[in-house]
Amino acid sequence: MSQNDMQLDSGLSAFESKNFSRAQQLLSPLADGGHPEAQYRLAIIYQNGLGFVKDEVSALKNMRAAAEQGHALAQHGLGFMYLHGECVVKDAAEAARWIRKAADQGLAGSMMVLAMMYEQGQGVEKDPDEAKRWYEAAEKAGA
């Protein structure tokens, strides 16, 4: 196991045990080095102000960096940010784009959100058939 792997495991353990200042300390260098899981966890810490003052700029930067590397939960998280105007200007079309990427990777929750977006015409053209298709996919994926 490499030094980075051990540092990541320690950082994730600190995150899971809600020791967010320790998690931030361990994950920051890995996030700066481009590690998507570290970036995603830091984004959550900064977005929610866990152990720190909320930092929307850092939250967005880390969530986007992880999402752009294909991290499905970060893609969903970035889509959620755009959908609700959290840490970024609200943009339903951009939200749909990122949530679709996560749904395409099999995230059932993303499939459900995407189905609702098609049902309501939020960020995408209203399409009951596409909504139904995504609801069914979400059900098969265990949502």
What is the pTM (predicted TM-score) of this model?
A: 0.93
Give the model's confidence band at 108: pLDDT under 50 very low, under 70 low, under 90 confident, else very high: very high
Listing DSSP states for 100-125 in one string gives: HHHHHTT-HHHHHHHHHHHHHTSSS-
Task: Identify residue 111 by its one-letter amino acid code.
Answer: M
pLDDT reported for residue 49: 94
**pLDDT tens-digit series, residues 64-78:** 999 999 999 999 999
Determine the 3-state secondary structure of 20 from DSSP: helix
**pLDDT tens-digit series, residues 16-75:** 999 999 999 999 999 999 999 999 999 999 999 998 899 999 999 999 999 999 999 999
Calculate the alpha carbon distances from 71 to 21, 56, 128 in Å. Answer: 23, 19, 28
Q: How far apart are CA 80 and CA 109, in angstroms?
A: 11
Determine the 3-state secondary structure of 36 from DSSP: helix
